Amino acid sequence: MDLDRHFTAHGIILHNRRTLLIEHAKLGWWLPPGGHLEPNEDPVQAVLREVAEETGLECALLAENRFAHEAVQVLPVPFTIQIEDVSENGGVAQHIDFIYVLRPVSDPESVVPQEAESTNWRWVPVEEVSGLVTAPELPDLIRSALAYAGD
């Protein structure tokens, strides 16, 4: 069975040992902000755009620079890339999800969620993510992101 595959990007935003999660309107799950890449958009542009659209926050990437050369543009490396099966348009599709770790540049308390896609938002202490209704891998992913960020 061939599945439709879509590229997505999500940002794990960390601040003071907390992560910003939004309650997804359709799923009812608490998730990091993110979404589909638009045409002609790279994953870094997508994650920064999606985070700004969904939260109102300006953020900066935490990413390793593993290679650079003046002859080519090199994108920051994502924290990880996941493949997720998702219900979409009455069927199942796969998201190839570029996940980045971010820090807020603008005031972290100035979140303005996009009401069309989320019903709520909150800064969640990393230790409390496992108590929320969310994707099963998310608590471990966020703990790993916190260790990566050195927070």
- What pLDDT digit, counting tens, does each position of 38-91 carry? 999 999 999 999 999 999 999 999 998 889 899 999 999 999 999 998 877 778
User: What is the extent of the structural domain holding 69?
Assistant: 4-149
Number of domains in the chain: 1
Compute and round to an integer the Cα radius of gyration of the chain.
Answer: 15
- C-alpha dist (Å) from residue 62 to 1, 58, 89: 37, 13, 34
pLDDT value, residue 128:
97
Q: What is the mean pLDDT of residues 94-100?
A: 96
Query: Which residue, among 99, 85, 82, has the nearest Cα to 10 in the 3D structure?
Result: 99
Contact criterion met (CB below 8 Å) for 34 and 51: yes
For residue 34, give the CATH number of its domain: 3.90.79.10
Q: In percent, how much of the chain has pLDDT > 90?
A: 72
The terminus-to-terminus CA distance of the chain in angstroms comes to 42
Residue 17: closest CA among 111, 138, 129, 132: 129
